[in-house]
Chain A
C-alpha cells in the first residue's frame, strides 16, 4: 500500500519561494496511470487543489495559481515536488500531497494522502 510523506520548511518569508517534497513509499511513482497532486488548506477553511504531475512530467495546474506554481517529478528518488513563488500570507496553509488514481471512465480520485505539512508565510 502506497504511503506519502510531505517535507519542507515550515516557515517561508514573504516574496520568497515555498518548496515542498512528497516522498512516495510502498510503490513506484512511475508504476500505473497515477497523477501526483498537491492540495492545500488554510486554517479553518476548505481544500484547494494546486496541481498535478504525471510520471512523464506532464503537469496541470489550478488556473488562479498557474503563474506561480511548478510541480515536478523525480522518478529516481520516487518523489515529486512543489514550488510556489512570490508567496504572501495568503499562502499560509496545510499542504497535502495525494495520489490521483484513474477509474475505468478516465476520471480520477484522490485515494492516498500524506498527513500534511503546515507552512507559514511570515517575516
Chain B
C-alpha cells in the first residue's frame, strides 16, 4: 500500500495568513494527487486534482504543487470559511488518503 503522510497534523492561523500543508507519498505517484476540504459534519469537497489543477468553483487562493513523492497545498490568504480539515489522496493505486490536517483559528 502507498502511505500518505501529511504535515502538520494541525495548525493555528489567523485570517489573512498564508498557509501551506504538505503531503508525502511512500513511493512515487507522479501527479496522481488530489486535495479535499472537509468541514465538520459535512462530506469532503474537492479542491485540487492531479496535484495542481483547481476544481471549478474553488477560489483561486487555493493552489497545489508537487510531483513524485512531495506535494503541497497552499492557501494564499486564509478566510473564515477555510477553517476546516484538509486531506490529500493518492489515486495511483489502491487509493489512500492522508491522515488530515486541521486548520484552526488562532
Q: Residues on A close to B: CB < 8 A? A: 46-49, 52, 60, 62-64, 96, 98, 100, 103, 105, 107-111, 113-116
Contacts and interface: CB of A to CB of B under 8 A. Distances in A.
Contacts of A49: 89, 94-97
Interface of B: 1, 31-32, 34, 36, 38, 42-46, 49-50, 53, 55, 87, 89, 91-92, 94-100
Contacts of B32: 107
B34 A46 contact: no
Task: Choose among B36, B95, B98 the residue with the greatest number of A CB atoms under 10 Å from its CB.
Answer: B95
B91 A105 contact: no
Nearest to A60: B94
B-side interface mostly: loop
B43 A114 contact: yes
A96 B50 contact: no
A46 B91 CA distance: 17
B44 A110 contact: yes
Contacts of B99: 46
Contact of B89 (A60, A62, A96, A110): A110
A46 B98 contact: yes
Task: Choose among A47, A52, A116 the residue with the greatest number of B CB atoms under 10 Å from its CB.
Answer: A47
A111 B43 contact: no
Contacts of B49: 103, 107, 109
B103 to A, nearest CB: 15
Given A46-B87, A47-B97, 13 more contacts: A49-B94, A49-B95, A96-B43, A107-B31, A107-B49, A108-B95, A109-B46, A109-B49, A109-B89, A110-B89, A114-B43, A115-B42, A115-B43
